[in-house]
Amino acid sequence: MKNLGQLISPLRKAPRDQADDSNWGRFRRNVFVSFVIDLVVIVGTALVLSLLIKSFLVRSFFVPSGSMLETLQIDDRIIVNELVPDLVPIERGDVVVFQDPGGWLGPVSKPSDNPVVAVSDWFLSAFGITAPDSSQHLVKRVIGVGGDRIVCCDVDGKLTINGKAITEPYLPKDVKPSTIDFDVIVPEGSIWVMGDNRDNSADSRFHLDLPSKGFVSKQFIVGRAFLITWPFNHFGWLDNYPDVFADVPNP
């Protein structure tokens, strides 16, 4: 015959088991909540870092035209070092992205009036995921820096910089350095730029009649393009061909 203690014992266990189940439920909920919080913090931190990097170090652009063929194809995605030229000096041969110095571009398409699209473009571009303003920028190669005298062309049909003729291996086959004659001296704080696809590049040569005289002032330069990231079969570093300009004397 069971004594009183044996009869009471199961009754005492029941509330404890229910409490354990309740604690386990709270534990599982807390683990899920903790996971969600950690995920939000990680994603938020990544986005903030991406924003800081895009704002101060690098950002991406799409190539809007064929003026840099065959080096860059239309719609190639490129990464630009924004430390150039404020902290890192521009060098001859660099591929640079710059804003319109005034009168280089024709009418630019207006941003979408759709608020959802506008907010989406703003958000994604803030983190370097898209580059909706690429059509408002130009991509060219630096041929001359401040003080350089650039002349086209010598008796061999080559450009000369400070009296030194250069051979340009980045030009497409059978494309001449220029079919337009010019003789310019680059002002300090500016650059002279030309597209690699010289026959289809409205570069410095075509803007001599503007107030800028075809030169691009430092204030308009976004940075130096150094990497092609998309499409993946175009992935690679952009060369600034230092050997081409190695023997060019200082102005």
pLDDT value at position 76? 95
**Catalytic pick among 140, 178, 204, 212:** 140
Cβ count near 60 (within 10 Å): 19
Cβ count near 221 (within 10 Å): 24
Please return the burial class of 81, using the count of CB atoms within 10 Å of its CB with bins 0-12, 13-18 and 19+: buried
Classified by CATH at the fold level, domain 59-245 comes out as Umud Fragment, subunit A (2.10.109)
Q: What's the pLDDT tens digit per position in 82-141?
A: 999 989 999 999 999 999 999 999 765 555 555 654 555 455 555 555 555 667 899 999
Residue 8 has pLDDT above 50, yes or no: no
pTM, entire model? 0.74
Q: What's the pLDDT tens digit per position in 160-218?
A: 999 999 999 999 999 999 999 999 999 999 999 999 999 999 999 999 999 999 999 99
C-alpha 153/C-alpha 150 separation (Å) is 9
**Catalytic pick among 60, 67, 134, 201:** 67
Residue 248 has pLDDT above 70, yes or no: yes
Q: Based on the residue annotation, tell me whether 140 is a catalytic residue of this protein.
A: yes
Q: Based on the residue annotation, tell me whether 213 is a catalytic residue of this protein.
A: no
pLDDT value at position 60? 87
Q: What's the pLDDT tens digit per position in 20-77?
A: 556 655 655 676 767 667 766 776 665 655 555 555 578 889 999 999 999 999 999 9
Contact 84, 187 (CB under 8 A): no
By DSSP bridging, strand 77-81 and strand 137-144 are unpaired
C-alpha 111/C-alpha 96 separation (Å) is 24
DSSP state of 234: G
- Amino acid (1-letter code) at residue 125: S
Exposure pattern of 102-141 as b/e (b: 16+ CB <10 Å)? eebeeeeeeeeeeeeeeeebeeebebbebbbebeebbbbb
Residue 81 has pLDDT above 80, yes or no: yes
Residue spans of the domains in the chain: they are 1-56, 59-245
pLDDT value at position 37? 72
Write out the two tokens for 90.
């521009």
Residue 222 has pLDDT above 90, yes or no: yes
